[in-house]
Structure formats: structure tokens, C-alpha cells
């Protein structure tokens, strides 16, 4: 208990100090509300509009989690496929890189044309942004199998299915989880950016659309509150994946031990 | 110092000051949309020389759906910007010091357009029947409509670059779209879809629109530039109302989404919204405190602002 | 398996290498004309300078690699092979028992039987208490024992070891040498044991094959004239010292030769 407190103290104290300085500065320099609201106003906005904000967070969360789930499943599958043969890698890899580099704001209107508004295009946006690290890390993990273990499996005449599921995939798990951790945060970002263009406005609005609305209305305090919620959502998803990683790997992988 | 050198320096300085006074003042005017007939008078003032005659070198900056024009003026990034009156009130409430100096539209041209084949009779009827509404999130009149008639039956989607295409899509019969009454409807008709337009002002929400604003502190310190630009705009709009041709050609060049014929139609259709009894009496662009007070009251009731603010802080007729 | 003398079960595979060449990409020749025989159930130590290609040799014998020239033959060809490498190479995500059972699992042996045989193997290497632990929780010596148990669980007819105890401390190493030899005496599979420790080669092998530097050839083979029971006490026996001296001299010759 004491140890947990001691670990949490530095970042918490830093956060509190930052907020105090911020509050004092906006007061001292008489910064107008629409330019930079003080933390007290942001907190007030958070409470005043808790219903709307939480509803929007739930909307974005649904899309982000859906996009992330697709990234996890399709990303790992694609990674396994790419790692299985050099010619497949040469054929497919350039397209995955393409997915990574095309700016989402350019594709998003197309997603609306193909899929309409609402959760579907936003989930696809989240998928597009988050799948690449999963693929790359899966490929790396699949390629780093201990060659001596591969020899051993060959010696015992293991089928390629046995080799994949009993050796290569478990061996790749630490790398895959590393990719999933990155993908979690990216999925939230992708969902929020996708919502700029593809979310409903009004009652079904997600975080991204609320941010846009508050920005246009110059409700900067609510804007900051929404941004804070977006970060929290990203953190929560990241935390969930980290927990899954810890539970799966803790008994055997160096990265999860020593905690 | 030698007397002669001193006199020479003073003469140079005087000449410099004189030249400065004679050189036109460089200012930037940020539009809040793409060049369209709502800015006709502005372009006419530039092309016809009205700005130059009043000692102004105006750089007109194009806008779009997401350009924060009025915030830019509030922050001093530009000297003048175009906004709607409700934006002015909302921002003033949040500590942004902007002042309106010229109101293009005496009647708000904000409207909602539907397909002619639809059955809705007016806006309340439309909202009761439900459907999809393409609109910029954060529009003040949406709040007004929600309060007066309720928006639960409408699915609101954002007004992005593909908005008109969504409206024109023959597969969608229940789609409505935010518009300026003389802009998007004409574009739709050109594309072969006959629209019907409902004026938002008819539901009781009628802010001055396409209002030119400037930073309050600069205006109070030196009302000169504001006075000059307002005078130039009056001339420019008079020119545009008489002959929109030259300005339309320039705007059509800058905004390829609308063709010249549509520009001409729109210029004609918008004239009644620009002139009114007030403008015939006091000149184009003039504003009254009563109208501002009414708007402020509405916005307070809609909780866009926390409490009414003084109307005369919001505008001036320089 | 039916009766017969404990000492002549003849359980093992015979290995024959004739003129084996192995060249890697880039023209690096690891083996150049290596020839020697291993009789069934024989315990042969392969000795040579570091990097001379001993590991390559072992992989050729296991069938994991093919020679460019010459022939590697195992008789019978389908005999069960097991390998033990310098690192234990266990599956870190499985417990000890599941690791040991792996070869049986890959061969399709049903769960109950493979668990039984795996437990037996684990007991033979003295790790019955650790059967439920993960490799990360074991010491280096214990991990090596697990690797050994895994190798033994299939009752191999050919056991290939590549400097398995090199990373361990001397005492553990001695213990494991003795345990290995005891296991061999009981099961009588053919064993090829690669090492660069002269005393280990002398302690374990009945015969020793000494290789030259790379590209490796057989420098000499010698039959070690030592008692069949290799207990710890052997290490203080003068006959042992003589054998070690002899081997060391042969190794130095082999290292020096071009």
C-alpha cells in the first residue's frame, strides 16, 4: 500500500502543481475564457455537462474498441500470413505501409461515401490507423522464433500447424502484445479523428464531433474537458491491453517480470 | 548637433510621416466561407476601387466551413473578419473583444432546404417528420430549433465537403440541408434537383448575418480604419447591387464550385435580404440596438451565453 | 522390450560418416572429408578446437542438414533421434512437465500416456519436485536436466549432445556427466557427445574422435581404456589422468595442424 502511494506520488504531485500554475497564470494574465480556460472552469464544464460528455465517450469507445478488435484479429492474421513466405511479404507489405502513411483526414470523407455516418466508418477509421503496428510486430515476432526450437520441432517431425500454434505464435506473443499496446492508443486517436468527418452531430455525437462543435462555439472549457476524456479513453484501452499482456506473459516473459 | 543636420532629419521624418499617411493602410479581411454572393459587396469594393479611395489596401482571405474567422479577429490575427451576430455575442460572453461594424444581411439568409417532392410544409413540420439534417455542428439556430420544436427525430450529420452530393443523392428522400437561401438551393437546381427552402428567420431567430467585425481594443483606440472600411463597404455593396457582374466573375474564379449563372441568380435573389427600411434610412450595413438586444435575450434563454450582455458593447455604426 | 543382458541391449542406431563435406554460402568450408563410424549403443565423444564445425557435424548426423559431398548414414534410418543443445531451449510458456512431454505431443501420443511418460522422465533426471514450475523459475542446471528429460522421453536410439553442460559450473557439470553416463548405461542408446573439454570427453566416452581446425577432418580416434562404470572417483584415478593427457596431446596436435 505504502509502496503504491510512493510510486503514484511524483506524477500526481506534478499534475497538481501544473494545474495550480495554470490556474494562477490565467488569473494573473487575465487570459480570456475562449483562449485558455483555467482548470477550475474545465472541471466545472466537466461536471455541468457530464451526461453529454459521458454519452459521447461511450459512442467513441464503441467505435474505438470495434476498430481495435479488428486490428488485433486481422493484424495478427495478416502478420502470420506475411511471415509465412517471402514472396507474400514482398507482395503485401507495401500496401500495409500505404495504409499507415495515407493521412486519415484525406480518406475519412471517402469512408462516409462508402459507409455512411455513425459507428461503422469511425470504427474503420480506428482500424486503419491502428492495424499497422500490429502487423509489423506480429511479423517481427514470428520471425524471431528460436532457431534451435525450430530445429527441435523439425527433428520431431512436427506438422506446420503444430509448429505455428505450439511454437511460433506463443513465441511471438510478447511482440504481438507490444504491437497491441501501441494499437490501443492509436485506435482511440483514429476514432476521434474519424469522427470529425463521419460522426453524427447532435445526440449521437462522439468525442471528435463534440470537440469540433465546442471549438466552433468557442466553448474552450468544454473543448478541453472533451479532450481530457479522449485521453482518458486512450489510457483506459491501453491499460486494458497492458493488463491482458501482463496476465498472459507474467509467468514466463522477462518483460512482465520484476513487477 | 549641427542645426542644419537637425532640420534635415526633421524634414525627412515629416516626409516619412506624410508618406505613411498617404500610403493605404494594409488590412486583412477574413471571410467565413468560400467566395459567394454574400461577400459580393466586399469584392466589389476591392475591384471598383472603393477600398483604395478610402485609403485601404484590403487583403481578402478565403474561408470555409471550418475556418475560425471571428476568433482570428478576436485574437488580432486579422484586422477584420466576417461572422454572424450570434457568434459575436457568444464570443464576447467568453471574453473575446470583438465589435460588429457592418451588417450585410438585415434578414438572416439561413435556411433549411429539402427536396421539392417532400411533404413537409415548414420547419416545425419537417422536424416533426424526422429524417437526416446536414448541418454544421454548433450552429446557434439549431439550438433555437431544438428548444422550440425538438430535434429528436432528426439525425444530424456534419456539413462537410460532400454535403451537396449527399443531398442530391436520389436514394435519400428524407434529407434536409443547412443553406443560405440563395446559394445551395440554386446549386441543387442546377444539378437537376428541385429544392424547397424554409427560412430560419420565419421561426423567430433572425440575427444579423455576414457581419464584419473587428477587434474591440483596436476600434476603441482608433475608429478610423473601421469607419473607412464601413464607408467603403457601403459603396461596394451599392455597386454590387447595381451591377454584380465584375465581382461575380472574380468570385467564380476563386470558387469553382459555383458557376457564373448561379452567381448571377443568387445576387438577384439576395437583394431583398440586404436592403430594408433601416438601410434606406441610415445606409447599407446599419444596425439597431433593439435587434441586438433581442438576439442577446434569445441566446441567454438558449444558454449559449450565461447571462445577457450589454447590447451596445457588441456593435457600432461607425 | 524383452529380456537380454542389461549391458547388451543393442538399443542404438549405428552412424556412419564417409567423406563428408559441408560448405556454407560464401565458400566457408566447415567440414572437409570427415569420416568415422559409431557402433550401435556406443558412447562417442567428439573433441575439437572451438569453431571447428562440431555443431555442424551434429546437425548433419541428426538429418537437420545435408552435406555437399560424402554421405551420412544412420542404421536403421528411421530410428528415433533426440538432441540436447548448449542452451536448454525450453518453451518458456510451458511448465516443465509440458516441455518434457512435447516430443510425445508432437507425435500424437494421447494425453494420459504422455503425461505418465513425461513424469517418469522427469523423475529420472531428479526433478520430480519441479514438474509444475516454469523454466524461468529454474536454475541453469535444472533447465539442462529438463532438456535432457525431454530428450529421453521418446526413448531415443540416437542421442546427440552439443556441449550441453558447457555453461554450467564445474560441480554441476560433473554431477550431470555422471547422471548422463548412468542413464546411458541403463538405456544403451547410441550417444554422440560433442565437447571441447578434454576431461569431459575422457570421462564420458568409450571412444573419442578428435577433429582438426576448420575445415575439419578427423585427426585421430582413440579408444579410451577405462572401466565401464564411470563414477566420480574415476577423476582421481591415474588411468584417467593418463587418458586425459593423451587426449590433450592429440587435441593440441589437431589444433596445430593446418
Q: Which three cell numbers stand for residue B307?
A: 447571462
Residue pair A200/A115 in contact by the 8 Å Cβ criterion: no
Task: Take residue C157 and report the three cell numbers written for it.
Answer: 536410439
pLDDT value at A175 more than 70: yes
Q: What is the pLDDT of residue C1?
A: 38
Specify the pLDDT at position A258. Answer: 53
Provide the pLDDT for residue C8.
46
Over residues B15-19, the mean pLDDT reads: 55
Residue of A nearest to C108 (CA): A158
Strands laid side by side in the C43-47 sheet: C81-84, C158-162, C190-195, C43-47, C207-211, C218-223
CB-side exposure of C224: number of CA atoms within 13 Å?
A: 35
Q: Give the pLDDT confidence score for residue C233 in this predicted structure.
A: 80
Residue among C92, C93, C106 whose CB faces A158 most closely: C106
Distance CA(C77)–CA(C256), nearest Å, equals 36
CA-CA-CA-CA torsion for B245, B248, B254, B255, nearest 10 degrees?
-140
Kindly tell me whether chain B and chain C come into contact, counting contact as 3+ Cβ pairs under 8 Å: no
Tell me if C89 and A148 make a contact (CB, 8 A cut-off): yes
Cβ atoms B21, B240 nearer than 8 A = no
Distance from CA of A168 to the nearest CA of B (A): 46
Q: Is the pLDDT of residue C3 over 60?
A: no
Supply the pLDDT for residue B11: 62
- Which residues of chain B does A217 touch, with a Cβ-Cβ cutoff of 8 Å? 90, 138, 304
Interface touch A151/C64, C-beta < 8 Å: yes
C50 has pLDDT over 80 = no
Q: Is C132 on the interface with A (CB under 8 A)?
A: no
Calculate what percentage of chain A has a pLDDT beyond 90.
59
Cβ–Cβ below 8 Å for A209 and B135: no
C28 touches A: beta carbon within 8 Å: no
In this predicted model, what pLDDT tens digit does every residue of B170-192 receive, in sequence order? 888 889 999 988 888 888 888 88
Rounded to 5°, the CA angle A146-A147-A148 comes to 90
| Nearest by CB: A197 against B74, B136, B158 | B158
**Which residue in the set C62, C89, C134 is minimally distant from A149, CB to CB?**
C89
Sort out which chain C residues have CB atoms less than 8 A from A158's CB and list them. 106
Chains that touch C (3 or more CB pairs under 8 A): A
3-class secondary structure, A173: helix
With a cut of 80, say whether residue C147 has pLDDT above it.
Answer: yes
Taking the C-alpha atoms of residue A85 and residue B107, their distance in angstroms, rounded to an integer, is 69
**What confidence category does residue B17 fall into, taking pLDDT thresholds of 50, 70 and 90?**
low
Q: CB-based contact (8 Å) between C136 and chain A?
A: yes
- The band of C7, judged by pLDDT with boundaries at 50, 70 and 90, is very low
pLDDT tens, residue by residue, B142-180: 999 999 999 888 999 988 777 888 898 888 888 999 998
Of the candidates A151, A156, A252, which has its C-beta nearest C103's C-beta?
A156
Residue of C74, C87, C93, C155 to mutate for A, most A C-beta atoms under 10 A: C93
Which of C63, C93, C134 faces A170 most closely, judged by CB atoms? C93
Out of C64, C92, C105, the one facing A155 most closely (by C-beta) is C64
Kindly list the residues from chain A whose CB atom is less than 8 angstroms away from the CB atom of residue B165.
Answer: 113
Contact residues, chain C, for A169 at CB < 8 Å: none
Residue that has been written with the C-alpha cell 582438426 in this structure: C212
C150: CB partners within 8 A, 6+ apart? C82, C90, C99, C100, C102, C103, C121
What pLDDT score does C257 carry? 67
A220: nearest CA partner in chain B = B94
Record: contact A202-B151, CB cut-off 8 A: yes
- What order of strands is seen across the sheet that includes strand C28-38? C28-38, C14-24, C69-75
In this structure, are strands C28-38 and B154-158 parallel, antiparallel, or unpaired? unpaired
Residue A234, pLDDT score: 95
- State whether A146 and C81 contact (CB < 8 Å): no
Contact B46, B58 (CB under 8 A): yes
Residues 6+ apart with CB under 8 A from A149: A167, A171, C89, C91
> pLDDT tens-digit profile of B198-252?
999 999 999 999 999 999 999 999 999 999 999 999 999 999 999 999 999 999 9
More confident call, C216 vs B8: C216
Nine-digit cell string for B306: 450565461
E strands, chain C, where? 14-24, 28-38, 43-47, 69-75, 81-84, 158-162, 190-195, 207-211, 218-223
Looking at residue C6, its pLDDT comes to 42
Say whether pLDDT at A147 is over 80: yes
pTM here? 0.79
Closest chain A residue by Cα to residue B158: A201
Prior bond to C76 cis, omega within 30? Answer: yes
Q: Do C136 and A162 touch (CB under 8 A)?
A: no
Q: Predicted ipTM?
A: 0.85
Amino acid at each position: 500500500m505504502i509502496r503504491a502511494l510512493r510510486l503514484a506520488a511524483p506524477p500526481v504531485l506534478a499534475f497538481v502543481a501544473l494545474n495550480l500554475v495554470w490556474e494562477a497564470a490565467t488569473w494573473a494574465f487575465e487570459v480570456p475564457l475562449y483562449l485558455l480556460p483555467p482548470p477550475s472552469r474545465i472541471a466545472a464544464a466537466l461536471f455541468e455537462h457530464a451526461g453529454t460528455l459521458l454519452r459521447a465517450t461511450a459512442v467513441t469507445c464503441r467505435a474505438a474498441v470495434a476498430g481495435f478488435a479488428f486490428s488485433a484479429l486481422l493484424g495478427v492474421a495478416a502478420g502470420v500470413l506475411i511471415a509465412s513466405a517471402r514472396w507474400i511479404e514482398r507482395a503485401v507489405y507495401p500496401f500495409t505501409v500505404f495504409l499507415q502513411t495515407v493521412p486519415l483526414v484525406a480518406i475519412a470523407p471517402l469512408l462516409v461515401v462508402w459507409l455512411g455516418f455513425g459507428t461503422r466508418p469511425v470504427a474503420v477509421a480506428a482500424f486503419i490507423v491502428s492495424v499497422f503496428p500490429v502487423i509489423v510486430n506480429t511479423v517481427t515476432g514470428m520471425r524471431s522464433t528460436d532457431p534451435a526450437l525450430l530445429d527441435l520441432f523439425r527433428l520431431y517431425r512436427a506438422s506446420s500447424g503444430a509448429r505455428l500454434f505450439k511454437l511460433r505464435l506463443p513465441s511471438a506473443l510478447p511482440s504481438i502484445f507490444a504491437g497491441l499496446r501501441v494499437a490501443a492508443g492509436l485506435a482511440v486517436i483514429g476514432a476521434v479523428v474519424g469522427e470529425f468527418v463521419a460522426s453524427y452531430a447532435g445526440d449521437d455525437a462522439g468525442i471528435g464531433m463534440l470537440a469540433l462543435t465546442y471549438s466552433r462555439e468557442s466553448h474552450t472549457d468544454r473543448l478541453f474537458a472533451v479532450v481530457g476524456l479522449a485521453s482518458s479513453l486512450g489510457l483506459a484501452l491501453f491499460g486494458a491491453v497492458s493488463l491482458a499482456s501482463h496476465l498472459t506473459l507474467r509467468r514466463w516473459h522477462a518483460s512482465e517480470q520484476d513487477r | 548637433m549641427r542645426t542644419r543636420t537637425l532640420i534635415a532629419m526633421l524634414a525627412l521624418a515629416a516626409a516619412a510621416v506624410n508618406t505613411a499617411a498617404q500610403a493605404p493602410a494594409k488590412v486583412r479581411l477574413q471571410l467565413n466561407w468560400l467566395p459567394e454572393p454574400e461577400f459580393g459587396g466586399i469584392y466589389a469594393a476591392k475591384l471598383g476601387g472603393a477600398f483604395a479611395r478610402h485609403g485601404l489596401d484590403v487583403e481578402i482571405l478565403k474561408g470555409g466551413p471550418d475556418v475560425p474567422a471571428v476568433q482570428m479577429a478576436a485574437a488580432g490575427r486579422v484586422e477584420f473578419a466576417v461572422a454572424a451576430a450570434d457568434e459575436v455575442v457568444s464570443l464576447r460572453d467568453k471574453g473575446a473583444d470583438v465589435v460588429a461594424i457592418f451588417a450585410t444581411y438585415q434578414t438572416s439568409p439561413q435556411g433549411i432546404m429539402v427536396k421539392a417532392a417532400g411533404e413537409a410544409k415548414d420547419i416545425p413540420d419537417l422536424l416533426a417528420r424526422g429524417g437526416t439534417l446536414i448541418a454544421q455542428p454548433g450552429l446557434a439556430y439549431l439550438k433555437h430549433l431544438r428548444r422550440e420544436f425538438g430535434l429528436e427525430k432528426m439525425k444530424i450529420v456534419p456539413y462537410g465537403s460532400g454535403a451537396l452530393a449527399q443531398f442530391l443523392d436520389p436514394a435519400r428522400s428524407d434529407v434536409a440541408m443547412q443553406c443560405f437561401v440563395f446559394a445551395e438551393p440554386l446549386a441543387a437546381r442546377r444539378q437537376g434537383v428541385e429544392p424547397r427552402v424554409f427560412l430560419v428567420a420565419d421561426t423567430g431567430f433572425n440575427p444579423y448575418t455576414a457581419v464584419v467585425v473587428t477587434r474591440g481594443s483596436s476600434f476603441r483606440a482608433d475608429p478610423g480604419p473601421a469607419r473607412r472600411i464601413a464607408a467603403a463597404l457601403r459603396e461596394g455593396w451599392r455597386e454590387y447591387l447595381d451591377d454584380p457582374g465584375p465581382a461575380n466573375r472574380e468570385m467564380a474564379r476563386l470558387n469553382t464550385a459555383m458557376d457564373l449563372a448561379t452567381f448571377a441568380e443568387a445576387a438577384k435573389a439576395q437583394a431583398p435580404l440586404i436592403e430594408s427600411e433601416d438601410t434606406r434610412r441610415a445606409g447599407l450595413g446599419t444596425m439597431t440596438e433593439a435587434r441586438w438586444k433581442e438576439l442577446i435575450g434569445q441566446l441567454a434563454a438558449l444558454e449559449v451565453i450565461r447571462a445577457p450582455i450589454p447590447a451596445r458593447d457588441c456593435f457600432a455604426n461607425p | 522390450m524383452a529380456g537380454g543382458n542389461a549391458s547388451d541391449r543393442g538399443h542404438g542406431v549405428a552412424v556412419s560418416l564417409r567423406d563428408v563435406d559441408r560448405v556454407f554460402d560464401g565458400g566457408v568450408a566447415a567440414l572437409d572429408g570427415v569420416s568415422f563410424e559409431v557402433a550401435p549403443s556406443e558412447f562417442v565423444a567428439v573433441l575439437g578446437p572451438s569453431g571447428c564445425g562440431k555443431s555442424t557435424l551434429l546437425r548433419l548426423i541428426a538429418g537437420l542438414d545435408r552435406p555437399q559431398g560424402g554421405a551420412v548414414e544412420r542404421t536403421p534410418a528411421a530410428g528415433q533421434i533426440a538432441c540436447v543443445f548448449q542452451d536448454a531451449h525450453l518453451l518458456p510458456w510451458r511448465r516443465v512437465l509440458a516441455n518434457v512431454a512435447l516430443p510425445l505431443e508432437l507425435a500424437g501420443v494421447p494425453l494420459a500416456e504422455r503425461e505418465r511418460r513425461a513424469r517418469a522422465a522427469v523423475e529420472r533426471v531428479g526433478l520430480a519436485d519441479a514438474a509444475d514450475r516454469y523454466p524461468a523459475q529454474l536454475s541453469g542446471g535444472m533447465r539442462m536436466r529438463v532438456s535432457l528429460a525431454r530428450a529421453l522421453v521418446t526413448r531415443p536410439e540416437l542421442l546427440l549432445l552439443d556441449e550441453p553442460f558447457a555453461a554450467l559450473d564445474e560441480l554441476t557439470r560433473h554431477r550431470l556427466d555422471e547422471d548422463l553416463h548412468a542413464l546411458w548405461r541403463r538405456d544403451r542408446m547410441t550417444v554422440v557427445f560433442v565437447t571441447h573439454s578434454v576431461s569431459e570427453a575422457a570421462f564420458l566416452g568409450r571412444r573419442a574422435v578428435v577433429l582438426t581446425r576448420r575445415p575439419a577432418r578427423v585427426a585421430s580416434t582413440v579408444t579410451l581404456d577405462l572401466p565401464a562404470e564411470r563414477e566420480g572417483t574415476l577423476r582421481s584415478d591415474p588411468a584417467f589422468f593418463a587418458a586425459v593427457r593423451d587426449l590433450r596431446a592429440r587435441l593440441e596436435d589437431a589444433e596445430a595442424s593446418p
